[in-house]
Chain A
């Protein structure tokens, strides 16, 4: 196993809207192995989304080095090595569901018939066959997010970067989406997922490793290995180790926050 994503001494400073310098990330070191499911968790303002965006080369770190598939993050982005899923589904209103899934394929110059077949296949994977010609507003929040996952996976990237993708969904839908995501992740061999969340339950349920970040400046507090058996399902949430691990993550979050109130 080799590190698909390698983060070395990454620090990020930026100027906030009040003109003050914000220390968002402080000397982060992290390796993600191929095929792993890794969650980044921490209170608001701990820089977990910033860290994900530096991996995606959407934000450049102030100092430090990031390699993705043994390339610079910038090269990996140009080579379309990852799919990104945002907190809002970020579907384009003017495109139907299938046209949204085809968007990356159009940009990557896939021929039309291959594009169409692949988009249908992806919509099948997220169980939205039959919704091809709907517009995004005609879908529920959970369905919209499934379309955005189909879109992120359409061009066969081997890395999936997810920024609180289920944060806006209600608890029931979120748990269902967690199962969906595990099913999709299992269906695609060697797929690496980096998943940002502020839900302890979600992080433990999904991940191989939970990376706990502490805020201001964002530091890597600890990494908790989740050795729950796979495949996981609703019964996993009743597992003895599940309770132990969630409280372990909770304690790690608390000690990381110190005097500040957990949000």
Chain B
């Protein structure tokens, strides 16, 4: 008994005070390494293509390398510089325009994330408690995602502007994309409860509500967070796509449309905007990761 306790205590010491988290450090170094490789590949391909006049002769075949020209794939330095230069004559630098527009998009994305998350969770709870509902409705939920978002976005914009509430249309479009992973993952989490864990609750004569709150929901939390991480990035994509047909003046989607229309004037501007859109998604994703760390605290350190 004593020996057992002592041995286990030493295990805790190791688990709680890891000398250095080599795993995390290694992961960060590895991603930085991959990013550097990608950037080197980008510039390397450009340099190689330029030195060959954007044509490659292999035997009798000629390969067109013009997609690596400055017009189609700007230099990384030019893209970086575009952030600091005004997008319009005498206007503010591009980065401040982007931040302002990203703010609009992020607002819609968060709205859509919350709306879709709530609705998706509700559906999952409904499906988890009714086999009939699950069997009848789940195919339509899946089918809803086969309709391209870009096809229904204009419809949603029209509906909401007719109803005099056009500002709501973008969050709703984003929600259309975000509710789906939440429903699927939450449903799996709520229903994948070990048989004995359920029997334990039955042995206490626990009510359905107690089984839900004390067993099904906490059991589903890791999977719910997996869904929320997917939904966070999807909501940004949804908001940008929603902005495209909206006719609004603000948002990253609107900015992308503008810079795409005037691409020939300055290709780096569009690339800078694309990078900004990506950053917004990553930012939202990281916020969810942080919240997950705070709430799902019981998992062993090595499990992700």
Contacts and interface: CB of A to CB of B under 8 A. Distances in A.
Interface stretch (B141-149, B195-203, B285-293): B195-203
Contacts of B214: 92, 103, 106-107
Interface string B187-217: 0000000101101111111100010001100
Given A84-B199, A134-B12, A138-B12, A143 B4 contact: yes
Nearest to B199: A58
Contact of A176 (B1, B219, B221): B1
Interface in A39-87: 53, 56, 58, 77-80, 82-84, 86-87
A104 B200 CA distance: 9
A100 B200 CA distance: 12
Main secondary structure of the interface of B (DSSP, over half): helix
B300 A84 contact: no
Given A90-B200, A92-B215, A103-B214, A80 B205 contact: yes
B62 interface: no
B203 to A, nearest CB: 4
Given A92-B197, A134-B12, A140-B4, A58 B202 contact: yes
Contacts, number: 72
B202 A77 contact: yes
A93 B1 contact: no
A139 B298 CA distance: 13
A123 to B, nearest CB: 13
Contacts of B200: 84, 86, 90
A137 B202 contact: no
Contact of A138 (B15, B199, B219): B15
B294 to A, nearest CB: 14
Interface residues of A, number: 35
B203 A56 contact: yes
Contacts of A58: 199, 202-203
Contacts of A180: 1
A82 B199 CA distance: 13
B218 interface: yes
Interface string B111-155: 000000000000000000000000000000000000000000000
Given A92-B218, A138-B15, A142-B4, A80 B204 contact: yes
B203 A143 contact: no
B204 A90 contact: no
B11 interface: yes
A108 B8 contact: no
B194 A90 contact: yes
B286 to A, nearest CB: 23
A94 B197 contact: no
Interface string B14-30: 01000000000000000
A185 interface: no
Contacts of B298: 93-95, 135, 137
A82 B206 contact: no
Nearest to A172: B4
Contacts of A87: 196
Given A92-B215, A94-B218, A103-B214, A86 B199 contact: yes
A84 B203 contact: yes
A86 B194 CA distance: 12
A212 B205 CA distance: 30
Nearest to B12: A138
5 contacts: A86-B200, A94-B296, A95-B298, A173-B4, A180-B1
Interface of A: 53, 56, 58, 77-80, 82-84, 86-88, 90, 92-95, 103-104, 106-108, 127, 134-135, 137-140, 142-143, 173, 176, 180
The 6 A-B residue pairs with the shortest CB-CB distance, nearest first, are A84-B203, A94-B218, A94-B298, A86-B196, A78-B205, A90-B196
Given A86-B200, A87-B196, A94-B221, 14 more contacts: A58-B202, A77-B203, A82-B203, A92-B218, A104-B204, A106-B214, A107-B204, A107-B210, A107-B214, A138-B8, A140-B8, A142-B4, A143-B4, A180-B1
Interface of B: 1, 4-5, 7-8, 11-12, 15, 194, 196-197, 199-206, 210, 214-215, 218-219, 221, 296, 298-300
